Chain A
């Protein structure tokens, strides 16, 4: 069970907003890069994010570039899961690969600062502030296996191959 505050973002948050190109020189310095996570969508995000919090998006979250640094820096800010109405394909796959749960459900009613409780196994998200509950479909088995192993590197280290 994961519990934390919601940081709500709009539709179409691109990876250029999550990890702006002007910080490309920090891509091998992830601790420094993480301070700029989502900076162009919310300049205060990195300061406000607390361990266990959630990033909540709208439609097509993470569209654009394949930069895996995007889910990595979100995770490094203590975020326990990204929840959105829909995800761009590469970002979604990258989240799972870096061990950051990505949940697809209707986020319309969730407000910034709401306290959420996420049960990944049961496929249930509770908004404790507004007192409502949302259900979501589990990940496809292949992705669930990778996520449960702790990401793709851990999965391959464990099995020396894909075991999906």
Chain B
């Protein structure tokens, strides 16, 4: 059947052939809550009048956004979630286990799943060939109660990518380039789907960077085909049996195709205060920008490969005296692997403050708020005004390589200068 990845997966869950623009009810394979949107979902669930979660083994709760809790109010919210999980038999992931999207990727999602989460970056599940999308608390509460949700089948844009990245250029630079091209609403309501030899060769850990940020172009999901690299990742997670192949559709299935060669890309950054204010880091606008804080982590770029890139740049060196480097592994597995491989040791020796797995300072709740007029180079996904706790501060989004180079030099730095 010729169809986009989104149409194929949604069709299987609607039990009929679907096309873009259709409104359908679909079964939900996995539903997830995190700790800043979960308490509202529990409240709504209780109001719905359903006693039990429909499929408790396919529902998951993650304590990651404010973990450990900075205030008693948030600690009480965590109690609400622990009580709900206990009562309903839903698996809860404690403080320090990691970020919702990373744990879903490592442990639970299977190619072809329909996944809803009360967090906008749920779209990261597209890295494993899932139709994964972020929703509000009530939508996820209803999905937990009924095991289904409604969807409008999205039109799809095919990003056909060929070539190989130059040294110092990473998946983050590719998605930032795309965001600069499309704008922050350039894929609104649509499915971003990735194809071509570059997409095919990209490991799942790096596909995750691109799927994660699909929502920053307004997209409903960001899906890679499920292929040999998907199989490899699942095997590494001891989940080889979860593999299912999912092939993309033909060009005519897509609303449009954007083709480009990644080998001509440079390291990119998103300057304040929008994700689409994208420039090559070599641009004049990026010169002499003093950096106060560097955040290496988040669901976007807190995986082992990301920490390793930074460690290579910082090995045997010291972070600039005016910079604080905050490192947050995305999961406990990343944390342990990083310890075992000596990556965290290298980063700590260079002057990094390593924090527990979780969301860290990404969304301004705790663990690294910015002072007035301070600048942070962050590997996370949003640089909106006030995002990291202070509307008078500035956030620049970058790859782990650019972040590490900037930590070393104390100014926004092209990583190719230090490689």
> Are A and B associated in one complex?
yes
Interface residues of chain A, those whose CB is within 8 Å of chain B, are 12, 14, 16-17, 20-22, 24-29, 40, 59-60, 63-69, 86, 88-90, 93-94, 97-98, 140-142, 151-153, 156-157, 160-162, 164
B202 part of interface (Cβ distance < 8 Å): no
- Inter-chain contact B220/A89, CB cutoff 8 Å: yes
B74 part of interface (Cβ distance < 8 Å): yes
- Inter-chain contact B138/A97, CB cutoff 8 Å: yes
Q: How far is the CA of A139 from the CA of B391 in the complex (A)?
A: 34
Find B385's partner among A17, A63, A141, A162 (CB 8 Å cutoff): A17
B233 part of interface (Cβ distance < 8 Å): no
Which chain B residue has the least Cβ–Cβ distance from A151?
A: B138
Q: How far is the CA of A88 from the CA of B220 in the complex (A)?
A: 10
Chain B residues closer than 8 Å to A27, beta-carbon distance:
36, 39-40, 77
Q: How far is the CA of A141 from the CA of B239 in the complex (A)?
A: 41
Q: Which 3 A-B pairs have the closest CB atoms?
A: A21-B364, A68-B136, A25-B73
- Inter-chain contact A60/B184, CB cutoff 8 Å: yes
Instruction: Please judge, given known A-B contacts A89-B189, A162-B148, whether A24 and B365 are in contact too, CB under 8 Å.
Output: yes
B157 part of interface (Cβ distance < 8 Å): no
Q: How far is the CA of A163 from the CA of B21 in the complex (A)?
A: 19
Which chain A residue has the least Cβ–Cβ distance from B41?
A: A68
Find A68's partner among B47, B49, B138, B389 (CB 8 Å cutoff): B138
Q: B interface, how many residues as a size bin? A: 35 or more
Chain A residues closer than 8 Å to B364, beta-carbon distance:
16, 20-22
B44 part of interface (Cβ distance < 8 Å): yes
Chain A residues closer than 8 Å to B347, beta-carbon distance:
none
- Inter-chain contact A22/B369, CB cutoff 8 Å: yes
- Inter-chain contact B384/A16, CB cutoff 8 Å: yes
- Inter-chain contact B185/A90, CB cutoff 8 Å: no
Chain B residues closer than 8 Å to A20, beta-carbon distance:
364, 386, 389, 391
- Inter-chain contact A24/B142, CB cutoff 8 Å: no
B188 part of interface (Cβ distance < 8 Å): yes
- Inter-chain contact B77/A28, CB cutoff 8 Å: yes
Chain B residues closer than 8 Å to A21, beta-carbon distance:
363-365, 386-389
Chain B residues closer than 8 Å to A60, beta-carbon distance:
184-185, 188, 218
Q: How far is the CA of A68 from the CA of B137 in the complex (A)?
A: 6
Chain A residues closer than 8 Å to B36, beta-carbon distance:
24, 27, 67
- Inter-chain contact B49/A162, CB cutoff 8 Å: no
Task: Provide 14 A-B residue pairs closer than 8 Å at the C-beta atoms, listed in order of the A residue.
Answer: A16-B363, A16-B384, A16-B386, A17-B385, A17-B386, A20-B389, A22-B364, A25-B71, A27-B77, A28-B76, A68-B138, A86-B188, A90-B134, A162-B25
B394 part of interface (Cβ distance < 8 Å): no
Q: How far is the CA of A87 from the CA of B382 in the complex (A)?
A: 18
Instruction: Please judge, given known A-B contacts A16-B384, A88-B185, A152-B139, whether A63 and B365 are in contact too, CB under 8 Å.
Output: no
A sample of 18 more A-B contacts (CB under 8 A), given A20-B386, A21-B363, A164-B150, is A14-B382, A14-B384, A21-B365, A22-B369, A22-B389, A25-B66, A27-B36, A28-B73, A64-B384, A66-B134, A67-B36, A88-B188, A90-B215, A142-B23, A153-B44, A153-B48, A156-B48, A161-B146
- Inter-chain contact B70/A97, CB cutoff 8 Å: no
How many interface contacts (CB-CB < 8 Å) are there between A and B?
149
- Inter-chain contact B184/A63, CB cutoff 8 Å: yes
- Inter-chain contact A28/B39, CB cutoff 8 Å: yes
Q: How far is the CA of A14 from the CA of B215 in the complex (A)?
A: 13
- Inter-chain contact B119/A66, CB cutoff 8 Å: yes
> Within the complex, what minimum Cβ distance (angstroms) separates A62 from chain B?
11
Q: In the complex, which of the residues B39, B47, B384 has the most CB atoms of chain A within 10 Å of its own CB atom?
A: B384
Chain B residues closer than 8 Å to A86, beta-carbon distance:
185, 188
Chain B residues closer than 8 Å to A66, beta-carbon distance:
37, 117-120, 122, 134-137
Find B138's partner among A25, A63, A153 (CB 8 Å cutoff): A153
B95-144 at interface with A (beta carbon < 8 Å): 117-120, 122, 134-139, 142
B80 part of interface (Cβ distance < 8 Å): yes
Chain A residues closer than 8 Å to B185, beta-carbon distance:
59-60, 63, 86, 88
Chain A residues closer than 8 Å to B49, beta-carbon distance:
157, 160
Instruction: Please judge, given known A-B contacts A63-B185, A156-B48, whether A164 and B363 are in contact too, CB under 8 Å.
Output: no
Chain B residues closer than 8 Å to A151, beta-carbon distance:
138
Q: How far is the CA of A14 from the CA of B276 in the complex (A)?
A: 13
Q: How far is the CA of A153 from the CA of B138 in the complex (A)?
A: 7
B201 part of interface (Cβ distance < 8 Å): no
- Inter-chain contact A156/B145, CB cutoff 8 Å: yes
